[in-house]
């Protein structure tokens, strides 16, 4: 024993000998009391843990929040799930959280407790992007309740019903043709194609035409308008993907202030509001609607855009949406409709370049179905089972939002024998569910054939298919899932049918960077750049 330790022990021993018997009794009783309290606390914690799912031991104060840090939290949680199972318990500060990582657990949970886990926790970014109005109105952030149900019904009936989707089929085809002319010109000039940018142009033009009858990409479009549009969408996406520690551990709000999150979100709000007011032109839409009513002349060929719908269709009780709500809804819906579909097709094209035999088989199927026509049409989809299998596999291996917006329970509940308190957070790790070894053999392998053997797996189902859920599941499933699927099929089908794809000169398929980047959406860290060659003599549409 070191000399200093010996000296300390001697001093303590002398103090003990010099103390009175009553003083010694106090010390002993105090020690016993502290030991008892400590043991009781540890025992209570042990009993509490028995009532909760397994999970990693939390850190003091921050809990398991470090598991959410880093560029790819879905992969970090996937590794933890391999150790603790498909239902895992985490704690963010004092806030409980469960993580679902297998199809079996997802099926059990959402068939029995979906309504209870359909609300949203309060987040700083939502408060700021709603201009500090705590009555969150956007569907993605609104708490579960009567308002959210009315809003969901409105979207399903007035915007994303089969009838509404069919009415806008011509818009989708026009934008494919418009952007295909640009791609054909690049191919004929031998230019390398930045596929991400082209895909972003198609999805953006399609969505903005559906929303407000405007186009931002193409040779005849205003460059400043396009740049502002990109600034707005990029800013909102970045803000929504941010992990702010004070959202989960309010006592550490000073850290969020030091990081400047609130000021960053305020800047995004100001920019997006300014740009979206100019972009959606709500007053001009209102004037056109009123003029049409007054004149009694209705253009039967005109398909109302979403601004028109908001201005003419009430939510509940005959009351129309105020202008500020219309702008709020549309600018948040833009991101879901543009970034996710473009990201998914880019990932899928990267996989196909690496597996030319799969690409060839898809092109042979397209040739047989589309024949001498120049473009793949939506009516062809029912006759393209292999293309659909490729799309499903793309969604499985590279879900655009591998860790979607977190949910929150409304009431205490019991699940699998575990007692979960109210306001328990829920994370659906879609990345992990899509790699469930109980469902998929060689889950990391890109193998579309697996869905030809299992056509019953339907990624557009709300409650009947839990093995493939790129658009979410249950009541909180993305309302635009069918539109997203159609856009992916249309873009991918025409890219494969109209062009042969290869690597730029001097590069090999092994040079493709398959690493991820992003936040709420995970895109390719390095944009996919390829050379396009027309497969048959093509003319500009």
In contact, 514 and 521? CB cutoff 8 Å: no
531 phi/psi in degrees, rounded to 5? -105, 130
Helix (H) or strand (E) holding 212: helix 195-212
Give the DSSP per-residue string, 475-527: GGS-TTHHHHHHHHHHHHHHHHHHEEEEPPTT--GGG----EEESSSEEESS-
Find the length of the chain.
Answer: 541
Q: Look up residue 59 and give its DSSP letter.
A: B
Q: Is 256 helix (H, G, I), strand (E, B) or coil?
A: helix
Backbone angles phi, psi at 396, to 5 degrees: -70, -50
Place of tokens 């635009």: 480
Rounded Cα gap, residues 265 and 236, in angstroms = 9
Binding site annotation covers 212? no
State how far the alpha carbon of 246 is from the alpha carbons of 81, 249, 262, 405, 410, in Å: 25, 5, 11, 16, 21
Please, what's the largest Cα pairwise distance for the chain?
106
Task: Tell me the C-alpha distance between 164 and 159, whole Å.
Answer: 6
Neighbours of 222 (CB within 10 A): 11
User: Two tokens at 537?
Assistant: 């003599």
Distance CA 165, CA 158 (A): 10
Q: Evaluate whether 99 touches 90 at the Cβ level (below 8 Å).
A: yes
* CA–CA separation, 416 and 112 (whole Å): 11
| DSSP secondary structure letter of residue 127 | H
Check if the beta carbon of residue 484 is closer than 8 Å to that of residue 337: yes
The secondary structure of 434-466, three-state, reads: CCCCCCCCCCCCCCCHHHHCCCCCCCCCCCCCC
How far apart are the C-alpha atoms of 522 and 237, rounded to whole Å? Answer: 11
CB contact at 8 A, 468 and 437 = no
**Using CA atoms, how far apart are residues 19 and 27, in angstroms rounded to an integer?**
10
Report the candidate in 513, 512, 498, 426 with the shortest Cα–Cα distance to residue 187: 498
SS3 content of the chain, % helix, strand, coil (to 5): 55, 10, 35
Task: Yes or no: say if 80 and 101 are a contact pair by the CB < 8 Å rule.
Answer: no
In 241-355, alpha helices (H)? 253-259, 261-280, 282-295, 306-312, 323-354
The answer to whether 74 touches 431, Cβ cutoff 8 Å, is: yes
Residues at the binding site for heme are 478
Residues at the binding site are 478
């Amino acid at each position: 024993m070191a000399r200093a330790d010996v000296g300390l022990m001697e001093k303590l021993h002398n103090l003990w000998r010099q103390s009175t018997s009553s003083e010694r009794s106090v010390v002993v009783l105090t020690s016993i009391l502290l030991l008892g309290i400590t043991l009781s606390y540890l025992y209570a914690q042990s009993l509490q843990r028995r009532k909760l799912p397994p999970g990693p031991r939390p850190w003091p104060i921050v809990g398991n929040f470090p598991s959410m840090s880093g560029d790819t939290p879905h992969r970090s949680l996937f590794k933890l799930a391999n150790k603790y199972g498909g239902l895992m318990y985490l704690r963010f500060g004092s806030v409980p959280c469960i993580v679902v990582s297998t199809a079996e657990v997802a099926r059990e949970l959402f068939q029995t407790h979906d309504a209870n886990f359909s609300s949203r926790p309060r987040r700083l970014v939502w408060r700021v992007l709603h201009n500090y109005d705590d009555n969150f109105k956007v569907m993605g952030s609104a708490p579960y309740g009567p308002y959210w149900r009315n809003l969901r019904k409105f979207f399903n009936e007035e915007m994303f019903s089969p009838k509404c989707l069919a009415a806008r089929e011509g818009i989708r085809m026009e934008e494919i043709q418009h952007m295909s002319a640009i791609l054909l010109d690049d191919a004929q000039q031998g230019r390398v194609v930045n596929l991400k940018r082209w895909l972003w142009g198609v999805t953006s033009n399609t969505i903005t035409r559906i929303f407000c009858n405007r186009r931002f990409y193409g040779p005849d479009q205003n460059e400043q308008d396009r740049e502002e549009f990109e600034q707005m969408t990029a800013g909102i996406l970045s803000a929504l993907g941010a992990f702010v520690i004070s959202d989960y551990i309010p006592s550490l709000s000073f850290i969020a202030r030091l990081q400047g999150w609130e000021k960053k979100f305020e800047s995004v709000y100001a920019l997006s509001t300014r740009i979206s007011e100019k972009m959606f032109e709500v007053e001009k839409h209102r004037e056109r609607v009123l003029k049409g009513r007054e004149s009694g002349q209705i253009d039967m060929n005109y398909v109302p855009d979403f601004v028109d719908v908001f201005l003419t269709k009430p939510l509940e009780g005959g009351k129309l949406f105020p202008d500020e709500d219309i702008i709020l809804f549309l600018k948040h819906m833009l991101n879901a409709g543009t970034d996710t579909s473009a990201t998914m097709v880019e990932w899928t094209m990267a996989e196909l370049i690496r597996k030319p035999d799969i690409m060839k088989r898809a092109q042979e199927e397209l040739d047989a179905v589309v024949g001498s026509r120049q473009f793949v049409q939506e009516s062809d989809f029912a006759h393209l089972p292999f293309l659909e299998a490729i799309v499903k596999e793309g969604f499985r291996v590279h879900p655009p939002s591998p860790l979607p917006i977190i949910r929150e329970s409304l009431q205490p509940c019991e699940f699998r024998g575990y007692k979960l308190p109210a306001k328990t957070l829920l994370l659906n790790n879609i990345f992990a569910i899509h790699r469930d070894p109980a469902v998929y053999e060689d889950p990391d392998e890109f193998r579309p054939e697996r869905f030809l053997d299992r056509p019953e797996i339907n990624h557009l189902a709300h409650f009947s298919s839990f093995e493939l859920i790129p658009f979410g599941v249950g009541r909180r499933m993305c309302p635009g899932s069918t539109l997203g699927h159609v856009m992916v099929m249309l873009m991918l089908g025409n890219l494969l049918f109209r062009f042969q794809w290869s690597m730029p000169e001097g590069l090999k398929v092994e040079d493709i960077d398959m690493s991820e980047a992003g936040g709420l959406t995970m895109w390719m860290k390095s944009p996919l750049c390829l050379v396009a060659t027309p497969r048959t003599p093509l003319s500009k549409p």
